[in-house]
Each structure stands twice: as structure tokens, then as C-alpha cells.
Amino acid sequence: MISIEIARRHYLLYLLLPHWAKVALLSPGSRTRLDRINLAFNDSLYSGEGAEEYDRIHRYAGDEAHEYPARALVEEIWAGSAGYGRALELGAGSGYFTAAIARRAESVVAVEPVADMRAVIDKRCREAGVRNVTVLAGTALDLGSKVSEASIDSALVLQSLHHFHRRPEVFAALGRVVRPGGRLFLVEPHHNLRRVGRLLRKYATTYRRPAFWGDERNWATHDFLTRGEIRTLCRRGGFDDVRITGYWIPFSRRIVREARRRFEAERRFGRLPLVRHMAAVLAVEARRGTEHGR
């Protein structure tokens, strides 16, 4: 059987396979090693200047934010008239979305593992004048000791799940803290044929070099999600009524040039199976069932 070894062999497989498949092929030693690699990667990339530059790196700054669906979904669509209630934001990053969530929530627990990023969240919330945010150090795997069971009305994971490699455990933790009937919202990049094509091109020009794949930092988890993986993870966490919409559909910018009209069009047509398959970004809505693991 093929075994993927970090910084030793089968990097192309590691790049191209969907997350669940590559994790299944990782050797036991590499799985343990990946925890350390991911923690070190996030600390090095998002500490110091990296924390201050987070919005620019993720294209949240300025007009570019209007091109990404998460902003409109968080601020206008998902909250509805009732708001988010007691909200949890997992992998809060710079707090770009935290303040927007807080204005539409009774309270927000923002979970972020990197210390300098937590400082940026605190500063951003102060400047925004929101005082209902609690910032917690840790990851999803720490939720059990820091957030009470069934205490959350709405959980949001925005552009962070693709950095997590222990995803079934993440969803089990979310299923424990979200109350029955509570909601889960995700926005994540999509692992599809378009993504595979881009990775193959990068492999041919850069990633195939031993100096690249021999560096363990280049094995840090950055795995986009498939629609099947999302549905499976939601089921394991006890979330049902899963609805997936695709955004950043090919040629949509040429057909509909104005950002707001394009968002509305993609929100309507992005539910169609073939259109959704080609989308670069997936937005997910799910509801916590009454029985865990349903």
C-alpha cells in the first residue's frame, strides 16, 4: 500500500488528493509530525508583521473584500432578522469578520491559536466599538475545555478550515458546543478539477524540485474542501439540512461585471450541481440535529 511520508515521498499525491484520502495514506509518524508543522507554520507566518498584514495577504483589504462572498453572507444574508445569538467563530484570524458578527450577535467567542493575531482581534474590536467579544487562545480541539456543551447558537468557520487536518475531530467538537437546532456556517475554497489543474501546473514549474518538497514547511495543511467531504463532516458532527452554494463561478466576472449583481446571480445559480462543481468558493449552511452524529 502507498504510504505518504512528509519531506520524503509522494508529494504529488499529497498535493492532488482530497484531504480525507491523503490523510488516510499518511504514515503514522507523518500524521503526528503534521500537528507540529501546522502549529509552527501558523506561528511563523502570522506572528509579528504577518499578523498586521493578514488582511492584505487574504485580500480582505479595500475593494477586494467586495469580490469575496463571505462579507455579504455574514453581514446581510446569514444573520437574518434574529441575528447570530451566541456565536462562535473558529479560526478568527485578524478579526475581520469578528466585528461584523458581533454587531449581529448577543455574544461572540472568537477562537484563534496565534497570540499576535489575538492581539489584532482585540484591537480591531476596540476600534469598532464592539464589547461582546471574548477572544480565546486555542484551536477547535480545545473547545471541549473552554466552551460549554450546547451553549452556541451559531458557529462560523470562515476561510480557516482548509488549514486543519484533523477535521473529523473539529466537527465533533463543533457538534458538541452548538445547541440542537443551532446553525453552522462555512466559507471555504473548493477542491475540484480546476484546483487540481492549477496544482499540476505549479508542480511542473516549482513543486517538483527536491529543495521544495524536501522542506517540511511546504507540507503544512492547505487543503481545499470537496463537497462530499463537507457533507460527510457535517454528518459526523451531527449537522443536517446541509446546503452548499458555489461562488467565483468561471467567467462570472466577464458576464456580470458589477460585484453586487454578480453575488446575487451566483447565490441563485450556484446551487445548481454542474455550476456548483466548477465554483472556486463554497458557502455552506447546516443545522445541528437533535441527535449527535445523525
Task: Evaluate if residue 184 carries a pLDDT over 70.
Answer: yes
From residue 104, alpha-carbon distances to 82, 136, 186 in Å are 8, 20, 17
Coil, helix or strand at residue 217? helix
Give the pLDDT confidence of 274-286 residue by residue, as tens digits: 999 999 999 999 9
Cα dihedral 84, 87, 93, 98 sign = positive
Name the CA dihedral angle for 187, 18, 219, 189, rounded to a multiple of 10 degrees: -20
From residue 53, alpha-carbon distances to 12, 96, 109, 164, 268 in Å are 30, 12, 23, 21, 33
Give the pLDDT confidence of 88-132 residue by residue, as tens digits: 999 998 898 999 999 999 999 999 999 999 999 999 999 999 999
Question: Distance between CA 146 and CA 137 in Å, rounded?
Answer: 9
pLDDT attached to residue 1: 79
How is residue 237 written as a grid cell? 458532527
Share of the chain above pLDDT 70, in %: 94
Coil, helix or strand at residue 109? strand
* pLDDT, mean over the chain: 92
Give, in degrees to the nearest 5, the angle at Cα 84 between 281 and 234: 50
Place of cell 527536491: 210
Question: Distance between CA 239 and CA 251 in Å, rounded?
Answer: 33
Which residue, 28, 45, 189, 48, is CA-closest to 116?
Answer: 48
What pTM did the predictor assign? 0.92
What letter represents residue 273's amino acid?
P
Give the pLDDT confidence of 191-235 residue by residue, as tens digits: 999 999 999 999 999 999 999 999 999 999 999 999 999 999 999
Question: Distance between CA 256 and CA 259 in Å, rounded?
Answer: 8
